[in-house]
A and B are shown apart, each in its own frame.
Chain A
Amino acid sequence: MAHAELSTEQLKRKVSIPLPTSEPGTDAAEANDLTQPRALEAIEFAMSMKGGGYNVYALGDAQTGMHERLMARLQEIASDEPAGSDLCYVANFGKPGEPVAMVLPRGVGRNVRDDVNHLLVSLTTLIPAAFSSDEFRQQIDELNSELQQRQMRDTAELNEEAKREGLAMLPTPGGFIFAPSDDDKVLDAEEFAKLDESQKRGIASAIEMMNEKLRERLQAYPSFQEELARQQRTLAETTARHVLTSLTSKLRARYNSHDEVISHLNAIGENLLDNVDKLLVLSAPAVPGQPQVPTEDLFREYQMNLIVDRSDEVRAPVVYESNPSLENLIGKLDHRLEYGVPVSDFTMIRAGALHRANGGYLVLDAERLLTKPFAWEALKRALLDGCIRIESVSQLLSMAYSVSLDPEPVPLQIKVVLLGPRRLHHLLRQYDSDYDSLFKVPADFWDKVLWDDRNEKAYCDLLLGFVAENELLPLSDGALAELIEYGGRLVQDRRHLSAYTEELCDMVREADHYARSAKSEDIGRDHVMVAASQRDSRVGRIKELVLHNIERGVTVIKTEHAAVGQVNGLSVVQLGRLVFGQPSRITATARMGRGDFIDIERESKLGGNIHSKAVLIVSNFIGYRYAKEQPLSLHASLVFEQSYGGIEGDSASIAEVCALLSAIIDTPVRQDLAITGSMDQHGFVQAIGGVNEKIEGFFEVCKSQKLTGTQGVIIPQSNQENLMLSDEVIETVEKGQFHIYTMTEVDDAIELMFGSTSEIASVERIEAQIRERLARFHELWKSAQGDDRE
């Protein structure tokens, strides 16, 4: 092979106008779906797989529009599936701390809740009314009256009997006493002492007898009262049951096919009757100064807390939770303060994203999920257990907390899609043993898509859709073409377009701004170019500084003539959004030695591993190619001049070979050319990255120093597919003022670099010179070694 000079057509892929666009009204997201078939097929596969663990990790960058595409696709899939179920929590009367979950068909939950609320309102009115009815009151009064009558009768009888015994019955703070009296006057100790012994004994005996009678009656009251209370309660129960039965009969008929609802109605009835005493309060008169228990509090525990209501949904849920905290994911328990203490009950259970997405699809950002405490663990647990448990952080940490509630877990049937970067996917695979079994399907969203007619059309549809949606100025064909070419430039590829749709849309928005500033009626190609150049300009301070230093000679870069042991290499600087090419002066020295190649970058700990590897390849290549049959008696060194940061990569390998060979044979190489390319041990050239920036970087330097017409860049032939050069470079090439050469092996570089501006060098001649010089070095080395031994 020999080197080749590229024509202008080979320097950039241009879009031909008119462009293929869809009919107006085409859904941009749908059109754009075509660009990621691998990822979307993976998603569809996962969504259609039954069984656990077929959840998806969508790998890729958010800026590729992955989220929008996923949501659109999931909505489409969900539209063919039935809506999920309603979910309520109701009180567990047997275990108040463990509310019962009730899963009901779509729409039933709201109906039941409303019906139960109506029932409770009716109970609030009708039960007090029943307890206030004359019939009920009369029966209660009869029961009460019996006790009162008995007490009054006892009081009267005991007083009379005491009087007959010559005693007075007197109340004390703690009960009663019987004391001897005379004419209604109680005897004092002195008067009592004057009585004879038989009188005293008689009085004592009478007192003892009266005490005993009083004691017997008093001790009988509690059981009498208990019986009275029991009878009152039975009466209240019977009355309440009658009201309840008449009110719930319609509900029972209506929800006959829903066992859970019937069970709940039964539970309400039983509990209500068990607590009929509380209901009696409703009919009791208000006590001034004493707070009344609000009616709604009495019936609170009979309410239904409908936490997921799908009445208005017609398809399976697709939920994106943008803030996947523990509580937002698995739900939470709200609380209210009672006497400064947080308390909760089943009415304060709130649904999480898992509840809302149950029966459908849940989309989460992996990075956000993993940065929320306990959220990832909770999600994994839900997926592994197949159910949702509402637990607070304090419960997860087994900390004591006043709000103590353990709602019944809810069965979980869900597909989860995590969106996140690739590195996170790999980290999870490596460090989380559950990950592979829970997220079995990776959906890889590439950051670029094939540049074919179909995707070119999809691109147009996307951009036109964006323009319409955001009411921007219409895009001209030229602007569309420029944007597509910009998409190619972003990925440095003539066969692919960038999938970073967000950046493209930003470009359109910015181009719209410049078009409006220029009072244009549409967005033209120029406006897109201005937007692109302004973008570069906004972050271009460092690039300008680098160029300025070269112009002033602070950084030495020669773009004319020739020099020994010195080659213009090319590197790429990336600082955030700023990416630009920068020439580097690579120099080499060579002298007789024992085969040492000194990589000064490595020795000074400024060279990376890949760079060191590349230098080793270069040294071995030289030995293998030019000193196969003799020891390589050479001492050589390599350095990137004026480089004060680290050097990494192997794209300078060809440049280093040329610099070393030039140093070995003391022959100058061209300085008006820059060269980039890596190589293998046999001297074949391999592709490098950032080819466009590298070419444009050297072009900028040449332009600033003076375009001589001979300057240019030598690149690997395999990088030709990556060329999407700026129009300025292409125009200069067209004028013959700048040249782009390709090479496939080292010899291609040698014939250009060791040649002159008018003719190429003879590879054979150069090779002979090298062999001769290396043989000479060896002779000298042997001689030097012999002298040493002598």
Chain B
Amino acid sequence: MSFTSIQFLVLTALAFAAYHLRPTPRWQNGVCVIASYSFYGWWDVRFCGLLLASSLIDYWVGGRIAATDQPRSRRAWLVFSLVTNLGLLGFFKYFNFFIDSLVIALALAGLNINISTLVILLPVGISFYTFQTLSYCIDIYRREFEPRRDLLSYLSFVSFFPQLVAGPIERASNLLPQFRKARTLRLDDAVSGCQLVLWGFFKKLAVADNLALVVDPAYTSPSNATPGHLLLATFCFAFQIYCDFSGYSDIATGVARWFGIRLQRNFALPYFSTSLAEFWRRWHISLSTWFRDYVFIPLGGSRCERPQRLRNLAATFLLSGLWHGAAWTFVLWGGLHALCLIPSQWNRSPRGSSAPGDAKPCADARSICRVAATFALVCVAWVLFRVDSLTEAALIYRRIAFGLVGAGLPTELATTIQTWPAAFAVLGILLVIEWNTRARWNPFEGLRWPRPVRWVAYTALFWLTLYLCPAKVEPFIYFQF
């Protein structure tokens, strides 16, 4: 059930009506769980069983960890949770990848064996909700969160439908307390929710799906695309994936606000970052902080000697790459980011992590140069994220590199822009709006215009989105993870 479907609109409307009928935690959580499992079951009803099983196991394990003070017992229960969650993820997402990789590795060693792969259906959102329930158990183990015997709240926390299939990956300390009390609809939350939903749909439908029209032909057949088209397609893909994913997050966050729930911010204008380190404080914040808190820091983080620091960095980013997909291209994408972050970690003195990336990006010339350089670096890595194979990536890098010094580049760029003028025009609109409203979460936040003027702005954005929405709306990119 996509956010762009009428079924989702109907489900949300019904859930909203039922939810606010009786503002008591039990009633509201009950409505949440029913709506969330209906939403999830729409993809495949079998997935509901898996979600429920995963949720119940970690609810029980969390209780067992909290019930004992014995370090060994607590650790044993935590390991049980880790093995279960990662085992589920490993089987559904990585089984065939590991088998294929093993066969290739053995073949390189001269051993040709035949191991059958399985036809495994990847449950939507499994990467997100397993990490969410894992963090619940880890936080209890670390005594950073105190569980309560309240299964309904917990199930609501895990399955909350706006963020179930593609995040943000929420922490129990942020979300569970909200589910434990009655929620009433505040006007400012309702309005900001509508603003986020509108902005999210604009980014997804008007920007991301139109940029896909530039990207797909080039990346489907890179040997036939001109270097100029490939270069612009890579640039467009950077914004396609940003608008697709942040658009989804905005819609999820906006819908959550209609239910009186505050989700964490997941994107903070990452392409205005002046360094790669800052980029990772602004991009997919819920996932990058998850890896920081549960992988990087437990390994030692930055508070160790240089070799360990670099090892920790590499491990974190390689795992992050692997999380995105069962393919070596994703692992290499993570590895490339780790490589580019080495200079910032090389001479770093062991101290705490930097502040979150929600500071307003600067507009001076030096900052703008650094923004451009960081963006270029990120685009180079995005090629690995988009392609199906390393061979394809090598071809694209080669063609772009030679094209950059080719005489035909200006013509190729002009031709590409002229073929899809609307895609580039709407991208320009997005950049202008986001730059000028970069201090806010969404462009309408805190807007002090009179209501009629605001409504004209909302109407203009709504109709622009409607007009530019392609006939074939692409599924959200991060649903495949």
Decide whether A and B assemble into one complex.
no
